[in-house]
Every structure is written in C-alpha cells, then in structure tokens.
Structure 1
Amino acid sequence: MNRRALSLTLLLSATLGTALAAEPRTTFNVVNTAPFSGKNYNPFTPAANHLPPTLSAIYESLFYVNALDGKVNPVLGTKYTWSKDNRTLTVTTRSGVKWSDGQPFSAADVAFTFNYLKANPGLDLTGIWKNGVKSVTAQGANTVVIAFDKVNVPAFYYIAHLPIVAEHNWKDVKDPLTFTNDTPIGTGPFVAETYSTQAVRVLRNTSYWMPGKPAVDAVAWFATNGNDASLLKMLKGETDYGYIAVPDPNKDYKNKGANFTYWWPVNNLNALYLNTTKAPFDDAAFRRALAMAINTKEVADKAYAGVVPPADPTGIIPGQQKVWKPGTAATLAPRLNVAAADAALTAAGYRKNAQGQRLGKDGKPLPAFKILVGSGWTDFITMAQVIGEQLKPLGISTSIDQQVFASYAGSFQTATFDTGVSWGWGSGPTPYNLYYQSFSPEFSAPVGKTASSNLSHFTDPALTKAIDSFSATSDPAQQKALMSTMVTTVMKNQPWIPLTARTSFNVYNTAKFTGFPDAQNPYNEGSPSDQVGARLMFLNVKPR
C-alpha cells in the first residue's frame, strides 16, 4: 500500500471508527462536493437530505431507464407489459432476491412501497399517485399490477425509478417524512457501515442477487466544501471518482496525467431561474428583456472553458432535438441585443433614472438582485459573475448568494430567492420529463411551502393542459403537437433563461480501477453518485 493510500485509509478508519485490521481489501473512493447534512438513509427524502449511498448503493428500483438512449435496464423488475389500452402496467419481479437482513424480497414489497406513498403524499416526490395511478397490487410472489384511471405512458419513467423498500422494515414507521432510517435495509449491492460528518462508507453485500457483483469490497464518500477541494483530492490520487464541474477539464485535469480522464455527456441544462412570485420577475416582459441581454455563449465558455456548449433556448438536449424541437422555437428564441433589451424594459414601464439605475414601475430604483448558487460550486459562481456583468448596462445590479446545498435547494423550493442558477429538475427519454417536473402545478407550491421541482413557481393553463394531454396519448403526432405547445408557452413567458447545456461531470482517476462509463460504453447517463443510475457504476468498476 502506498503512502497516499495508507494515509487515506487511516483517515477513513479514524472518521468512521473502524479498526485498520478490518479494512476492506478494495475500496472505491468517491469525493463529495458538499458536506454531509446528517445521517439520513431515507430514500424518499430529497437529495439534499439523504446520504449519497442511499439511492445508488443501498436501495434499488424496478428498472433503470438511461435517458441518453432510452434503454430500459431490469433491476428488481425483470420485464413489464402494457395492456392494449395503456391503462394497466404489469411488472414481473425478480426471484431469489433477499433484503440485507436476510428476509426474502417479493412483489408484496413493491406494492407496499407504492401504496406507502399513497398513504404519505409528502413522499411522492415525482407525483406518481397524482398522475393516473389508481391502484397497485401484488398478485403472487412475482407479479405487480399497476392500474391507471387515465392513460399516462410517460409515468413509467418515474415508476421505474422509485426506490423499493421492505414492508417489514417500514410498515410501523409513523412519520416517514422525518424518519432518518439510520439502519437501512435494502436489496442493493452494498450495505451501510458507519457514518461521520467527514466520511461515509458502505460494504459489499455478500448476499447480493447478482453473481460476482460488485467487484469491490467497499465504497467510501469523502465530504468537501466545494469543487476546488474535491478536484485536489482527485489530483492527489486520494479518490477514484468525483462528480465535479471542473472549470477547464482538459487543462485543469486531463492534462495532469495519464490516469486522469473525464466523461461529460449532455443530459440536461443549466438555467437562470426567475422567481415569478415576486416583482419584477412576475412580469413576463421584464423576464424576456433579461433574456435578450444575457450572452449564453460567454456564460458557457467562461464557466466550462468552451468544453460545454450554450443551452438550446428550448431546454431540449441535443439528442432529442431532431424529434421534439418545434420549428416555431427559432422565431421565439431571444436574440442577444443589449440595446433592444434596454428599450424593451423602458417600454414595459421600467425606465432608468439620471444615474442610469433601472427603476421599478413604482419609480423607485430596483434593488440589487441576488443570484443564488451552491456554495463552492465554481461553475455556477462563474455563471453568476458573468450574468452580473452582462446586466450592468441595463442598470441592473446583482450579488451572488452562495448557500450550502440544503438551504440552496430550500430557497428555490420555498420561493424565497430572487434569481438562481440550477439544473433542469426533470430528465428522461423525452423532453416531457423536463417540462413536466419543471412547470407542472403539482410540483409548485405557495411561497413558504415546499415545491418539489417547479423552481420558478410558474404555471400556465395552456402549458398545464398540454402536459396533461401529452401523458394521455401514445400517438407520436399528437405528442409532437403538444410538445410544441409546451415549448412555445414557456419561451413566450420566459420563467427561466436556459444558460448552458448540463452535462454530467464525471471525473475519473483510472490508476486503480477500470470499468467506468464513457462514450464507448454509456451504460448510464453519467449519473451522479447519489442517483439510481450510479448503481451500475458501482457494479461495473473493478480493481486493475
């Protein structure tokens, strides 16, 4: 064992209170770009609240749908079939699976999980029960029947990714919203070991149902305070994988050595969200004028050194544009023109005073608007800096509001922010998933209440109708027409300003392990280590 590996082992032993003699032979080390918010393995809580092994290593879903290519990978479900009228989904569950406490897994656990969300709506973060599911029942040990009272074929994506829990472990939990699930019982490839504020480790599940998997004995996560600290750990060889937005991944990482590489597939977007519940961001004319003044190419180039392109104004990722991007989008896209943006603001009632300050409709100078970003997230911080400079000619001042992830997400969800940079909170094999989770009323909430994912808190009757109608048809022509309505409504109202493509930010050190996902073998979509797709990485990486 080399000196660096030994020092990391000693650190892990100290932080987790594990004897050195009990160290696993092979540990895959992951760097986490944020501190751990507390010991919580509850898979139904938002990502900001639970520990990263929860969805990727401990619990499993029925299937994993790779949004890059739409491929459906069986997990606890082995196959699924829709009825001819698309109102019944029948899933066959896997035989021979055991929970980590030794008890057998069955279809009853799946039915329990879905019905548990129905009984506790606060857990239903993707709105499964609000969007057509009528009943979920187990028929025998290996069959689950999901009945719908309205057609909703896209719901499969959310059904497929729901983490399945053990009935015998959860049936007596009285308050699942606050339950931290300190000793999780899952079917996944790893089991929880010990937690500290600095490091979390999971150990290989010796009874895992997949023969020969996983190939490593443990996975450990190390907390840092941001991208820079995380990158340093990768460069020192202390960690093997990180999800890190490196400002210039070629210069700052790949060119540092033969073992340093990255894979950044485009699977979403980064946007400037505008809080439509407060003035002046409640005015579509004001929002559209801001979009005309923001040079998204400059934002992308400076945030990612030209490696990541600007976002398409529709938010649709490149792999889906040929099928889903409507022709009307080109005429609705904001044209970069600062002078025209300045004039548009004045025409909308936001004139300037003699000092060049932009005034509200009440004649008073607008305050400096905060741009919310995650603490230490260098890419988002750079975006906010560039946007702030670009808005100055309009007489608009900004400041950067860095918050740790839990409060960052909370500010968005409770509508207590002005503007903020975040990703599209919804991805899938079609743009429906993005528009549904980003703009459906069911994911919004009044100010002060928690919205799951409608961060701009924007709703529109025509948009809502199109979202609902899309889910009710499997006719491709109808779906394209409805997608056109979604796209044009959002572009006209500009509740967000698409900034850059959102790639995955996989950064690898291949000195000790092989089997990472990449462009030649994209077995996941570049999922971060706290999402269901990362389970495939933990199953596929193996020691050299």
Structure 2
Amino acid sequence: MMTLALVVCLAATASACGGSKSSKSGGKTAVTISNEQGTTWSCGFNPFNSDVNFLSFGTVYEELTFVNGLKSGQTTDWLASSYAWSNSNKTLTVTIRPGVKWSDGKPLTAGDVLFTFNLLKKNEGLDLNAAWSVLKDVTRNGNKITFDFKGSAVPYFYYIAAQTPIVPEHIWSTIKNPVTYKDTHPVGTGPFKMASCSPQVIKYTKNAGYWQKGKPTIETVYYPAFTSNDPANQQLASGKAQWGSQFIPNIKSYYVSKSADNHYWFPPTVNVSIFINLQDPILKDVAVRKAMAYAIDRKKVSEIGEYGYEPPSNQTGIVTPTFSSWLDPKLAHVFDYNPQKAIQTLQAAGYKKKGNLFYTPEGKPLSFRILNIGGYSDWVASVQVIQKQLAAVGIKITPENLSSTTYDADNYNGKFQLSYNGNESGGPAPYYELRQVLYSKNSAPIGKPAATNWERYENPATDRLIEQYASTADPATQHGIVRKLEQVMVNEVPVIPVTEGVDWYQYNTRDLKGWVTPDNPYAQPAAYVNPDWGVVLLNLKPKSAS
C-alpha cells in the first residue's frame, strides 16, 4: 500500500525523521517508522476512531489480554492478570492487574474497565467490533470485571479482551461527545506517550512509569507522515527508517541488496477484496457479481500488481497457508478464472451485449466506478489489471483514486459502487474476517458509518451461523460452521477476494534486535496493526543491551 508525494518533516524534526539517537552505551534508542498512509496526520488519537486508532492503540492505550494472530490465538495477560470462563462459556471474569498507572500518574482500576465498556454501550459509534451485540451486562466486584454474554461467546474474547482499548474514566467521563472527540493529548497506560504531533510527524517518548519493569528500552519513536510510498521506501532503503510497513517493488534489489541488515517478511493475514455495494440496483444482482468473480484472473493480479508478494485469493475468503486447515478445497476452485463462464452467466441472466459492453434488460450499462487509494501504487496497479480483465467480458469499471481520508469516509458510509479494500483487521481464525464482512450488525444504512461490513450484506441465516460459532468451543463444530460461511461467500458473492493481504514488514537489524521473525512470530509485525505494534516496540532493544 502506498501514494503521491512525501510530506517532508518539519525542520525542527528533520534529523529525527531520518535517524536514531545513541545511548551512552552506544546502542540506538530511537526508532523511525516508514509506513505510508496516504495522508498527513490529523493529530487525533481517539482509540475508538477507526481512522486514527492505529496511532494510539498499543502504544498509548492498551488491551486486557494480548492475542497473537500468528500463533493460533495464543494469549498473554496484559492489563488483566488473569481470566476465566464459566456458565457454559457465557460468563467471562477478568482480574485487573494491580500497580498499573495512567500516564498522568493516576492508578488504573477495575472502574476504568467498567467505564470503558459502558462508554461503548452508550455510544454505539465507539463500539467498532459490535461488542454489545453479544454482551448482556458488565459488572464490577472489587478488582474483577464480569462480562455476561447473551450466549456462549468464546470467540468474542478476542474482541472484548484483545481489541478494546481501555480508557481512563477520570478523563473520558468529562467528554461531551466521545464519538467526535479528537483526543489530541491521549492519556493511557501504554509504554509510550504522545509527545508532539504536527501534520508531518508524530513523536512518541518512553513512558518512564510503565508497569512492565525495564520496558520499553526504546526511548523515542518517530512516525513521519508519507502521502506516497516512494519517498517512504527511500527512507527505508537509505537506513534512515528502521521499521517499514508498506509495499516495495522489486524489494530484493531495491531494499535487501542495500544492506545485509535489511530484512523483510510478509505473512498472509486477510484478503484484499472488491467490496460490492449491495444496495446498488444493478450490483444487487448476484449474476453480475458472479460474472465479475469469474472474470478476474487473481494469479495475474498477484503477479503484476503485487509482484507476487501477496498470493492470489479464492472466493471462500479463507487465507492460505495461514488458515489452510479451514478451507474447503472444492469451494476454493468454484470461481477459478473463466472469462467465458462470466459471459455465459450474464447472458443467462438476461443481459445483452452491445458493442463491447453488457447492458441490463432496461438498457443500463454494466459500468461502475471503483474506489481506491491513489497513493497505494500496488492497489492502483492491481485495479488496472482487473479493469482490463472485466472489460474483456463486457463490464466497465472506472477507478477513482482518492486520498486515504476521502476513501475511508466513502467506504465507511457506503458511498461507492465498488471499492478495492484490504483494511479488515481479521483475527486469529478465519471466522473473524468472515464475521467482519458478513455480520449484519457490523453494517449500517447508507450514509452512516459501518464498522466493517462496508458492502452492506444482510442475511439472517448467515447471522445465525456467525452466532452459532460463538456458542461452541468444539473445533470440529467451528470448522463445520466456517465451511458453511465459505458456501455463503461462493453462493452469494457479497465481496470478491482478489489477493491475500499480508502484513507488509521490513526491518533493519544494524542497531536494534528483538524484531519479529518467521522463527519468532510473537506479534503481527506491521506497524499499522494494533495493538501489536506496541508489543513490537516493547521487544526492541539496542544491540548493545543484554
């Protein structure tokens, strides 16, 4: 993912944007992140605002329990020192860790946790993971918080404990409108404080009072704003940035060859898909969606648009090899590339071809606009390939390459016909991405922001499958339900997975150790994954440190 032009760091911070500070022992104690976002910084850090929460959740704000999506959901106690299920997996009790302080010196209490979840209940716009669609009540008893669910809820642990940032009651209780609150000076329990912010660069400094003794070792984190991946890539290749999270064309020659300390790893995690506005009068016809799915040569999109770094997807939505054990191999090949089948599907549904374009029986052309982020050069290239492939079967798409800010707003509010999008967060099993895409409670009416179900898919039977999954801890039953959700993806084609989105991750080991590696995948390694990026920063140390 990438963009147009670098927004240069302010003169006062120029050296910080390109280098790192030395400690007395000779090690480097600063990290510069190169992660092109397609926009300058708004200097908002609201952890419940999906546009900016990646800038505060993990570093400033923290979760109850850390869940590692690369290690089958392995858990690590965080702000909660323990947790336990009871009542047939309908009740979750967490014990809040003692001795934790907010960055303003006030103690974290169970009251802050209770307040956070009640805040989400009172303000639906903050409940990004629809937690209260499954929660019945949250109560406090001393240092323990009890979550009572409407039914068995084992998989929802991920959303409740790992994906909900805890905020301080003594600050957030005074905010009149927490949904629109920018949170320009965030106060959290995390390892870093937001020290300064301009549209060009954010500076984080070590939280000296952090509850994990001896951590963090890194004293300063610089996060420049890049509106294009090209200058961001230059920062990485030159060694001015140590941690990258973006697409680099010809990465071996451009980046790896520049230094023996330059490394990369791209673990597949979620799909990059064409989201289809199911409220559109033409696109609501499944025949059109199926024709599009047949017409796209995913392998070629992967090779040309993504240099093969992102493998081709399949229509089930199951990311492989990460989740191969969940995949129904027969369903995976239903929509293999078949342009002739695409044409036959349209003809059978009553569409007529005039010249090079198909038309509806009412005479409307199969011509659609597709949103994209103009600064993501790989996405732009991928859509260009898809554009040619769809044109070959009589469907016209016109790319609209937008700024990241406009793109996000249009996606969330359903103001699109088609959208090329890989911004789902996924989770430690394929269920999580499928829930994000298919669960109607993650949707919203057109014009109002949807959490993740941007295509506005709704089907009560599918909702029941998603909810049934949550009622069992039996792996065989869970696999069976996911197979049925794969069938939904194939039968209804609510979205079209194109490539398997990876965690873009480049890292330099000249001065720092403790990076995520294929042999030690202790967190998802991309700087844009929250709260994992905070965990990565906690593990980094100067090479001179023991």
Q: TM-score scaled by structure 1?
A: 0.92
Q: Which amino acid aligns with 1:74?
A: D
For 1:124, the equivalent position in structure 2 comes to: 127
Cα deviation, residue 14, structure 1: 9.0
1:165 aligned residue (164, 167, 180): 167
Gap change, CA 1:134 and 1:527, over 3 Å in 2: farther
Cα deviation, residue 11, structure 1: 4.5
Question: Deviation per CA, 1:351-406, whole angstroms, max 9, x where unpaired?
Answer: 111x2222123124333x22211121011111101001111211222222111222
Secondary structure at the residue paired with 2:521? coil
For 1:240, the equivalent position in structure 2 comes to: 242
Task: Describe how 1:445-484 pairs up with structure 2 within 5 A.
Answer: 445-484=444-483
Secondary structure at the residue paired with 1:138? strand
For 1:504, the equivalent position in structure 2 comes to: 503
For the 8 Å contact 1:289–1:342, the answer to whether it is kept is yes
For the 8 Å contact 1:248–1:307, the answer to whether it is kept is no
Cα deviation, residue 8, structure 1: 7.8
Q: Which amino acid aligns with 1:389?
A: K
For the 8 Å contact 1:275–1:456, the answer to whether it is kept is yes
Q: Which amino acid aligns with 1:372?
A: L
For 2:359, the equivalent position in structure 1 comes to: 359
Q: Which amino acid aligns with 1:360?
A: T
For the 8 Å contact 2:314–2:332, the answer to whether it is kept is no
For 1:39, the equivalent position in structure 2 comes to: 43
CA distance in structure 2 between the aligned counterparts of 1:9 and 1:214, rounded to whole angstroms: 26
For 2:434, the equivalent position in structure 1 comes to: 435
Secondary structure at the residue paired with 2:32? strand
Secondary structure at the residue paired with 2:170? helix
For 2:288, the equivalent position in structure 1 comes to: 286
Between 1:208-217 and 1:412-421, the stretch displaced more is: 412-421
Q: Does 1:92 align with 2:91?
A: no
Cα deviation, residue 109, structure 1: 1.0
Question: Deviation per CA, 1:66-112, whole angstroms, max 9, x where unpaired?
Answer: 11211112211121110141121111121111111111112111111
Question: Deviation per CA, 1:258-295, whole angstroms, max 9, x where unpaired?
Answer: 12211111111111111111132111011001111100
For the 8 Å contact 1:42–1:180, the answer to whether it is kept is yes
Secondary structure at the residue paired with 2:81? strand
Between 1:392-401 and 1:166-175, the stretch displaced more is: 392-401
CA distance in structure 2 between the aligned counterparts of 1:400 and 1:319, rounded to whole angstroms: 31
Q: Which amino acid aligns with 2:434?
A: Y
Q: Does 1:27 align with 2:30?
A: yes
Cα deviation, residue 58, structure 1: 0.5
For the 8 Å contact 1:324–1:483, the answer to whether it is kept is yes
Identity %, equivalent residues:
33
Q: Which amino acid aligns with 2:114?
A: A
CA distance in structure 2 between the aligned counterparts of 1:149 and 1:414, rounded to whole angstroms: 29
Secondary structure at the residue paired with 1:58? coil
Task: Describe how 1:66-465 pairs up with structure 2 within 5 A.
Answer: 66-69=68-71, 70-131=73-134, 133-140=135-142, 142-160=143-161, 161-319=163-321, 321-326=323-328, 328-330=330-332, 333-353=334-354, 355-367=355-367, 369-423=368-422, 425-465=424-464
- Unaligned segments of structure 1, at least 5 residues: 1-6
Q: TM-score scaled by structure 2?
A: 0.92
Computed over aligned residues only, the root mean square deviation of the Cα atoms, in angstroms, reads 2.3
Gap change, CA 1:525 and 1:32, over 3 Å in 2: closer
CA distance in structure 1 between the aligned counterparts of 2:232 and 2:139, rounded to whole angstroms: 45
Cα deviation, residue 139, structure 1: 1.6
Question: Deviation per CA, 1:231-279, whole angstroms, max 9, x where unpaired?
Answer: 1111122211121022332233222321221111111111111111113
For the 8 Å contact 1:328–1:488, the answer to whether it is kept is no
For 1:4, the equivalent position in structure 2 comes to: none
For 2:5, the equivalent position in structure 1 comes to: none
Cα deviation, residue 144, structure 1: 1.4
Secondary structure at the residue paired with 1:273? strand
Q: How many residues align?
A: 527
Secondary structure at the residue paired with 1:73? strand
Secondary structure at the residue paired with 1:298? helix
Secondary structure at the residue paired with 1:437? helix
Gap change, CA 1:84 and 1:323, over 3 Å in 2: farther
